[in-house]
Amino acid sequence: MTRNASETKTKIVCTLGPATHDERVLREMIRAGMDVARVNFSHGTHDEHAMAIDTVRRLADEEGAVVAVMADLQGPKLRIGTLLEPVDLTHGDWISFVDASGEASADGTHHVLPLPHPELIHGAKVGQRLLLDDGVVEVEIREVRPDALIARVILGGALTSHKGISAPEGSSGVRALTDKDRADARFAVEQAVDLIALSFVRAPDDVCELRALLDKQGDAGRAIHILAKIERREAVERFDDILPHVDAVMVARGDLGIALSPQEVPMAQKDIIRTCNRAGVPVITATQMLQSMTDSPRPTRAESSDVANAILDGTDAVMLSAETAVGRYPVEAVTMIREISAVVEAQMRGESDEAPFEGAVRVHPVTDAIGDATARIADRLRARLIATTTWSGYTARQIARERPRQPIVAFTPQETVLRQLALVWGVTPVLTPPSAGTDEMIASVTRALCDRREVETGDRIVITGGIPVGGGGKTNFIKVHTI
């Protein structure tokens, strides 16, 4: 099953889990349109992840599909310690968090809770809010001591052992990359994953730390793209500083919805997507896209609208989490995303003639200008499709950011780039050997498109590429070609 370029343009990221252990289910998800398989390192063992990655790649090869693998690092998961019994908190109660990184010194008695994260205590500030159990309990810090925090309960509730704790306002003092993440990242390199998602990014330094770790692993590590998950207020505030250091972005609305107020999340989503579009950086919208389909064969109207609005915002991809990891209807959830995409994209008007990116930073001015012009020429001539040859994937991403009406078929000799382009809106990646010259390139592209039945005799296409072949940012020609 070779996926045709005329199919929907919004990409689908699917989280693997118990629901995908059945190969038949996973194969059907690929056939339904899964573009990226997310391996969640918050759960499972390396052996289990290795088996899942091997299975995805084998089934994708059998189906003639291009499916990228994204390793999602757990990041710093902060939790309170063990409580003797559940603690009932009400508004106005006083509560203490005591450093329990060594021998436990508290068990919840008298509202004194063990906190095995001294870095959270050291980074805390008076007036800062702490959220426990995903926001079920909210407290405000009133006093910071060397080994304890004194807080007042704002929103009460029942608290049990090992519930999560987060500091949505300001820095928690906790770095994004943990020792577990480092071990997982090295394992991900061994598995030759295509992308690594870094959780709880705060600042550019977090991304640079992961990049340095990957670079030390040699060529295999350097080839992997880094995706920043935006789920902290600091990341939203410093997004313009973070973006130049990453290859992709995820609007992780679950934890972002804790760090920000619910009212702020929709506008943050739109701003992040728009900024990524301007830079030509792929962006994923994630969390509870079709949450009800975890247990139901149909989504709610609100969920359908949420997916549609994310597509209208300009997202490259939509991510399914519990829906495919543990849900009862994983294949139906993928199919539903594809069907919503088809309806929405049919109503979207291409922006290639609206110059939507005036003033955007130009990394490779010539390539960027050719990418802009390619989309406009294809639009004016009502071309059948856009074909681009790319070594690094950069040219394809620059064309895609214009959101042209025409499908984009990207030819690359690099297998890793092939899979990484599976995340980019509107791009159908195709593996092809490098060409020695322009004439050979055009002949090779034409032959491949005809073999794939993407074009017919008389169709007009726009071809762009670079000669000599090799390295990124070397696109230097456009040709209008009739089959």
What is the phi/psi pair of residue 236, to 5°? -65, -45
186 confidence band (pLDDT: 50, 70, 90): very high
Q: What is the pLDDT of residue 278?
A: 92
> Which residues are CB-neighbours of 262 under 8 A, at least 6 positions away?
none
Cα–Cα distance measured from residue 451 to residue 447, given in angstroms and rounded to the nearest whole number: 6
Does the annotation count 3 as an active-site position?
A: no
Which residue spans within 109-194 are E strands per DSSP?
112-115, 129-132, 137-145, 148-155, 157-159, 165-166
- Whether the pLDDT of residue 453 is over 90: the answer is yes
Q: How confident is the model at residue 3 (pLDDT cuts 50, 70, 90)?
A: low
At 355 the pLDDT is 45
Q: Is the pLDDT of residue 271 over 60?
A: yes
Rg (CA), the chain: 24
**pLDDT mean across residues, the chain:** 91
Between CA 162 and CA 98 the distance in angstroms is 14
Could you tell me if 132 and 80 are in contact, meaning their C-beta atoms sit under 8 angstroms apart?
yes
Q: Mind giving me the DSSP string for 411-449?
A: EES-HHHHHHGGGSTTEEEEE----SSHHHHHHHHHHHH
CA distance 52 to 279: 33
**What would the pLDDT profile of 395-450 be if each residue is shown by its tens digit?**
999 999 999 999 999 999 999 999 999 999 999 999 999 887 888 889 999 999 99
pLDDT of residue 122: 85
Which uninterrupted H or E stretch holds 178?
Answer: none
Rounded distance between C-alpha atoms, residue 14 and residue 317, angstroms: 10
- Whole-number pLDDT of residue 169: 65
Let me know if 475 is a catalytic residue: no
* pLDDT of 246 over the 90 cut: yes
Task: Look at the block and give the residue holding tokens 């895609």.
Answer: 400
Would you kindly state where each structural domain of the chain is located, as residue ranges? 11-75+175-346, 87-166, 365-482
Confidence of residue 354 (pLDDT cuts 50, 70, 90): very low
Per-residue 3-state assignment (H helix, E strand, C coil) for 282-342: CEEEECCCCHHHHCCCCCCHHHHHHHHHHHHHCCCEEEECHHHHCCCCHHHHHHHHHHHHH
More confident: 60 or 466: 60
Does 79 qualify as catalytic in the annotation?
A: yes
* CATH architecture classification, 11-75+175-346: Alpha-Beta Barrel (3.20)
Q: Which of 202, 211, 229, 474 is catalytic?
A: 229
With cut-offs at 50, 70 and 90, classify the pLDDT of residue 471: low
To which H or E segment does residue 186 belong? helix 179-190
Checking if the pLDDT of 63 tops 90, the result is: yes
| Residue whose C-alpha is closest to residue 242's, from 210, 205, 288, 195 | 205
Confidence of residue 140 (pLDDT cuts 50, 70, 90): very high
Say yes or no to pLDDT of 362 above 60: no
**Quick one: CATH architecture of 87-166?**
Beta Barrel (2.40)
Return the DSSP state at 270. H
Find the mean pLDDT for residues 112-116.
Answer: 92
pLDDT in tens, 19-53: 999 999 999 999 999 999 999 999 999 999 999 99
Q: Taking residues 207-233, what's their average pLDDT? A: 97
Per annotation, catalytic residue among 15, 20, 287, 324: 287
DSSP 3-state of 482: strand
Q: Quick check: is 382 catalytic? A: no
So what's the pLDDT on residue 353? 42
Please compute the mean of the pLDDT values over residues 208-215 and round it to a whole number: 98
Q: Strand locations in 363-418, DSSP E?
A: 385-389, 408-412
**With 80 as the cut, is the pLDDT of residue 104 above it?**
no
Q: Rounded to an integer, what distance in angstroms lies between the CA atom of residue 173 and that of residue 121?
A: 8
What are the tokens at 174?
């906790």
Write down the catalytic residue from 27, 38, 376, 401.
Answer: 38
Confidence bin at 167 (pLDDT 50/70/90): confident
What's the confidence (pLDDT) of residue 325? 96
Residue 77 pLDDT > 90: no
Cα atoms found within 13 Å of the Cα of residue 294, Cβ hemisphere only? 14
pLDDT of residue 136 exceeding 80, the answer is yes
Q: Is the confidence at residue 147, as pLDDT, over 70?
A: yes
For residue 5, what pLDDT is reported?
60
Cβ(263)–Cβ(297) below 8 Å: no
**Which of the following is catalytic: 79, 180, 186, 238?**
79
Confidence category of residue 360, pLDDT binned at 50, 70, 90: low
CA atoms within 13 A on the CB side of 104: 12
Give the rounded percent of residues in the chain with a pLDDT score beyond 70.
92
Q: 365-482: which CATH architecture?
A: 3-Layer(aba) Sandwich (3.40)
Choose between 130 and 101: higher pLDDT: 130
